Structure 1
């Protein structure tokens, strides 16, 4: 079994007897508010598209990021400084309220080296079997330090990419933690929480989702999708139709496309009527929708009439 993903990050604070390894940066992580909604990137590149190396709207305006270290990169927002968060994602320092235009954290140290627990084959792809095509037999003997440049998820387990462009299962490396290593970036966005960065769209998002879940299977909400979402947030009479709600969100520049809606977000569709349609995102690419009965779906973004998602108004 490969090391399973764990919630949160554990500090690297131990060394293996007789086998030193490079620990995380010495300076403690620090939390700062963001100036605007920020994407999270696995690379220091302002132009990288949303997808494998960029998570849209990872850190919403009003939330905070916890920085592990800082590094130089391409200029963005008037600064060449980039911050690596405890999520293993880079954000441009110009849009983080650190109280300084310069460094407030230590420089990132990449790669970080850790001893192999057993002799390991280097794999061409994360998740590959030890003898998969392209594997390098006995590339990392037991006890030898493995230089890790980034980490990623595959099949619910953590995998480490080395500076030799090979992959090894993280459970076979003595990193000092059972989770991701603080101070190492992600290699890609697999297994990374979508937009919202773990912060709900609204303080009442959890309660709204609970309201919607409790009504799965109910048949008394047909043609009342907008009211359903509003009632989930403890309000009503905000918009006459889902389409009117969508137009307000659109006209105020709040609609997001191309990213997974965070929990509690409103999800919009043109539908087959002039009223449009709205669902409530419950996270993990799933949403709860009304119809002849209230149901849950994870294929809503595949609909041809999908318009995008938005955080519900802050006044709800």
Structure 2
């Protein structure tokens, strides 16, 4: 991996050099587990979205000049910004995504590991929504308390179903376990269902955003983002397979 110019360093040096600079293509590669960057929009707040594109839900902003932590990067919609045109999107430590076109990292290309997505569910029960679409629906309900004690319904509806077909998340987690879908090692990849026991015996489930973050119910009494181990009594993660969903 190499390139003849570093556009971001050039941008700091002079605006004229940006016009003259030519960056050779770079590909995705394994890099650091995390990195810091600085938002540069020339003044306006930068919109944080639920997925890698401008059509995904905008649920908060970060100020121009703010320092952000990048957990992983993924390809998405092409955006032209302060540092040129790129398809790279950065997953931030708060669980949202921003275009890398507005983030100064000291590099013109990828600086952290690629975001890992969960595998497909069996074709016999394909979800109406894919992972990014499900996460987008979940973010549209960010802060809502309407789904408290309805974590399984929330996850099923995120993936486009009317309901899961299971009475509790404990039953759902048991099914995933007994049918060989539950993984108990590794950080849950983006889009995975993340399963928990709880003291009530009803269990809990959320959706992984990747890199140790989940979105689901019961985060301070509402839909929110948390670390995947914050709920306690962690069971493991599975592909987004809901065989009884309707």
Structure ID, larger Rg: 1
